[in-house]
Amino acid sequence: MTKPTDLTLYTASVPNGIKVSSALEYLEIPYKMRALDFSTLEQKEPWYLEINPNGRVPAIVDVVDGKKTSVMESGAVLLYITDKYDPANKLSYPHGSAEYYEMIEWLFWQVGGLGPMQGQASHFVRYCQSDNPEVQAYGTNRYVNETRRLMSVLETRLHKQAAKGSKYLVGDHLSVADLACLGWVLFDTYVGIESSEFPLLNKWQDEISAIPLVKKGLDVPKPFTIKEMVKNPEAMAAASATGRNWIQKGNEAEKK
Ligand SMILES: N[C@@H](CCC(=O)N[C@@H](CS)C(=O)NCC(=O)O)C(=O)O
């Protein structure tokens, strides 16, 4: 893809952001990147809410022939990108084909299931500071177990695909369904799920994240280091404290 574009990605180094940067890089789509600073709640500022009224990342703004289109929600952004910039179906399948609907199924499954559940698991494992240990334990068990169950659904799917000779969630090549799930699966150990629990999923995440163009996208806006960071208790404590701080500030701001 060498066609010049005027596309800006609003993102941060988080699961939903890296799904989109890895898709843009994989398709070699030129884009501008604007990293949002969560520590100052930039994602809640009025100018950004004009782009993404939900106050979350990712979002894109694309200008084509002078016409501006804003797209929020990672699943919608991935479909926009493949519709507009993937005519050869390098990261997608032709509209109307059986694989197209399977890709949509797994994309919706991720944005409606794995993402929200794992997001809550991260909250209870890393950021919740309840005075009541029972609240913390209940939330942690509920969401980590649900995330684990969802990852087992992916493991089973990969076994079925392997029986058909494919290493990918859908069809015979990488698609946005894989990249959407990858954004979250890469954070498995962050919520205490060991990669070794799901051997095929582990191999899948290692192989896909090692594809040079995917890797380039995972390193946006900064190098992806979560796997190493999780092994370093001091670094993790510092990252959790930073996260806890902006999340509490964000909760207060959103309450108002
Ligand atoms: N359903 C949304 C979820 C977006 C989302 O929750 N993004 C997180 C990062 S992974 C975020 O922006 N958090 C900032 C906040 O909660 O203020 C999507 O798929 O785009």
166 alpha carbon – ligand 1 mean position (Å): 31
Q: Which CATH superfamily is domain 7-85 in?
A: Glutaredoxin (3.40.30.10)
DSSP class of residue 211 equals S
Neighbours of 225 (CB within 10 A): 13
Residues 187-223: b if buried by 16+ CB within 10 A, e if exposed: bbebbebebeebebbbebbeebbeeeebbebbbbbee
Residue identifier of the C-alpha nearest atom 11 of ligand 1: 56
> How many Å is the Cα radius of gyration of the chain?
18
Q: Please state the domain extents for the chain.
A: 7-85, 98-229
CA of 90 to the centre of ligand 1 (A): 26
The residue type of 24 is: L
CA-nearest residue for atom 17, ligand 1, is 56
Looking at residue 181, its amino acid is C
Residue 165's pLDDT is what? 98
- Exposed e or buried b for every residue in 125-153, given b needs 16+ CB within 10 A? bbbeeeeeeeeeeebbeebbebbbebbee
Domains 7-85 and 98-229 share a fold: no
Task: Enumerate residues 6+ apart whose C-beta is below 8 A from 43.
Answer: 12, 36, 52, 55, 56, 57
**Cα 179 to Cα 96, 184, 250, distances in angstroms:** 21, 9, 28
Q: Which amino acid is at 65?
A: D
What is the predicted pLDDT for the residue at 187? 97
Probe residue for ligand 1, chosen from 10, 42, 57, 70 as the CB with the greatest number of ligand atoms within 8 Å: 57
Ligand 1 contacts (CB < 6 A) are 14-16, 38, 43, 55-58, 73-75, 111, 115, 250
CA pair distance 208, 248, nearest whole angstrom: 34
| CA proximity to 192, closest of 143, 246, 152, 134 | 143
**Using CA positions, which residue lies closest to atom 19 of ligand 1?**
74
- Short-list 212, 241, 236, CA closest to 226: 236
User: How far is the C-alpha of 24 from the C-alpha of 214, rounded, in Å?
Assistant: 9
pLDDT for the residue numbered 252 = 84
Q: How far, in Å, from the CA of 112 to the mean position of ligand 1?
A: 12
- Ligand 1 centroid to residue 153 C-alpha, Å: 23
Q: Kindly list the distances between the CA atom of residue 60 and the CA atoms of 82, 112, 218, 244, in Å, as whole numbers in the listed order.
A: 13, 20, 17, 26
154: nearest Cα among 123, 177, 124: 177
Pick the atom of ligand 1 nearest to 14's CA.
10
Task: Specify the residue with its C-alpha closest to ligand 1, atom 13.
Answer: 56
Q: Could you say which of 1.20.200.10, 1.20.1050.10, 3.40.718.10, 1.10.10.60 is the CATH number of the domain covering 98-229?
A: 1.20.1050.10
Could you read off the pLDDT tens digit of each residue along the chain, which spans 256 residues? 456 789 999 999 999 999 999 999 999 999 999 999 999 999 999 999 999 999 999 999 999 999 999 999 999 999 999 999 999 999 999 999 999 999 999 999 999 999 999 999 999 999 988 888 898 999 999 999 999 999 999 999 999 999 999 999 999 999 999 999 999 999 999 999 998 999 999 999 999 999 999 999 999 999 999 999 999 999 999 999 999 999 988 888 888 7
Q: How far apart are CA 9 and CA 230, in angstroms?
A: 27
Q: Is the dihedral of CA 61, 80, 31, 115 positive or negative?
A: positive
pLDDT number for residue 116: 98
Q: How far is the CA of 122 from the centre of ligand 1 (A)?
A: 12
